[in-house]
Amino acid sequence: MVTARKDMAETATSRSNVYGLLATVFRAEPSAAFLAHLGSTDVADAFGSLDLSLGVDDRESSSEDLAVEYTRLFIGPGPHVSPHESVNIEGQDALEAALWGPQTVKVKKFIEAAGLEFDASFTGMPDHVSAELEFMQRLAAREAEAWSAPNEELAANIQRIQERFLDEHLSRWAPRFCERVIEMSEHAFYRVFSELTKDFVEYDRNNLQIYIAEIGNKECKSH
């Protein structure tokens, strides 16, 4: 049982690291230091422990080129891909799809209900892809702490919160957002990371569902 908790803590830590990396990719133009960090053993270990491969050669990228590409893709002017959930959820009317619309408010309330607050310096929107990825990063980090405590009940509850957020928010729109970035990007960096984000969100959602089902089965057997 101790080994199982240790494994779950390590997995949650790796998941947190991957979410944090993806959040950084979409938060702003990548710095030269971040591009160099992609080649570090810490990054390789985080992906390797989840049987994933980063697949990005940072030597092909310059921070200057990627800054231009980031602006073109996500900010404009001109046609660009909005990195906000409220704009990417399908089946909405024009009012619902507006920035700071009902969907944005739902995300903000979900994050606050989970006990996390936005930094006073944060000027973005709660439903920006980087904010949602960072939320998952922090939840996974909390899960790792709970497994290590050990507090299995708390860890299981945090898993349920993560699975619910993916189900109600991130997995509903991130794949479509990533597909649009892949179509529009002129640089392999954003195509690779968009493909990775799309796959990882689905991978993580599926694994969380498995973990939660296994915990549910154990609880049933104990009664």
The span from the CA of 128 to the CA of 123, in Å, is: 11
Condensed to tens digits (0 to 9), the pLDDT of residues 167-180 reads 999 999 999 999 99
pLDDT tens per residue across span 204-221: 999 999 989 887 666 555
CATH superfamily of 2-222: TorD-like (1.10.3480.10)
100-124 confidence digits (pLDDT tens):
788 899 999 999 999 988 776 777 8
Rounded Cα distance, 85 and 172, in Å: 9
Where in the chain are the domains? 2-222
Tell me whether the omega of the peptide bond preceding residue 83 falls within 30 degrees of 0, making it cis.
no
Considering the entire predicted model, what is its pTM? 0.90
Long-range contacts of 153-159 (CB under 8 A, 24+ apart): 155/8, 155/12, 156/212, 156/215, 159/208, 159/211, 159/212, 159/215
Instruction: Judge contact between 164 and 56, C-beta under 8 A.
Output: no
Select from 114, 111, 82, 113 the least CA-distant residue to 99.
82
Q: What is the DSSP letter of 125?
A: -
